[in-house]
């Protein structure tokens, strides 16, 4: 999304695969969440992850991987990717994601945007509906943005439902 806000003349279309303009509302379950509200948590996580070794990162990732991908093989891929990452770089990326709010900036962009959201990591349909509502709220009133949720796929939806992801992207870029 940042490319569409800073380099709109160079970007034709934006496709986001379960990456929101601001992740905060998913953590707090409230669209009124601000960067200031997440700052303490973001700083604590940054410090914690920056000081981990690869085994600790693998262990930490393993704790939440079941909401990231469905199959054991894909979960192992996610853990291996995390294990091979640089702790300081990963910590900084996590901090940036948690403290960057592009919701207002994308409203100024005319770039067509497709947001593919995954809600399959949530057990109950009520949770999936709440998450879908939070995703849609980030693009409310934007005629150039489309949000499509996949209630069967988890965060790494290209692992869980590659055909669906491919189909939705192809439809969007063909318009």
Examine the pLDDT at 21 and tell me if it is beyond 90: yes
Residue 140: burial class (beta carbons within 10 Å; 0-12, 13-18, 19+): exposed
Model pLDDT, residue 156: 97
Percent of the chain having pLDDT more than 90?
A: 98
Structure confidence by residue, pLDDT tens digits, 81-136: 999 999 999 999 999 999 999 999 999 999 999 999 999 999 999 999 999 999 99
> Rounded to an integer, what distance in angstroms lies between the CA atom of residue 168 and that of residue 174?
10
Record the pTM: 0.93
Q: Where are the beta strands (DSSP E) in 69-162?
A: 113-118, 145-150
Average pLDDT over residues 8-32: 95
Model pLDDT, residue 175: 82
């Amino acid at each position: 999304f940042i490319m569409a806000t800073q380099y709109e003349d160079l970007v034709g279309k934006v496709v986001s695969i379960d990456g929101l303009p601001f992740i905060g509302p998913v953590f707090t379950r409230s669209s009124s969440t601000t960067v200031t509200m997440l700052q303490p948590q973001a700083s604590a996580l940054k410090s914690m992850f920056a000081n981990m070794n690869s085994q600790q990162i693998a262990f930490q990732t393993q704790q939440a991987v079941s909401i990231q991908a469905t199959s054991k093989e894909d979960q192992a891929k996610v853990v291996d990717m995390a294990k091979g990452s640089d702790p300081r770089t990963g910590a900084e990326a996590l901090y940036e994601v948690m403290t960057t709010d592009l919701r207002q900036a994308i409203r100024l962009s005319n770039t067509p945007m497709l947001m593919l959201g995954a809600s399959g990591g949530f057990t109950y349909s009520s949770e999936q509906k709440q998450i879908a509502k939070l995703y849609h709220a980030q693009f409310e009133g934007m005629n150039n943005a489309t949000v499509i949720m996949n209630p069967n796929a988890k965060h790494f939806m290209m692992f869980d439902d590659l055909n669906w992801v491919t189909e939705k992207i192809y439809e969007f870029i063909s318009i």
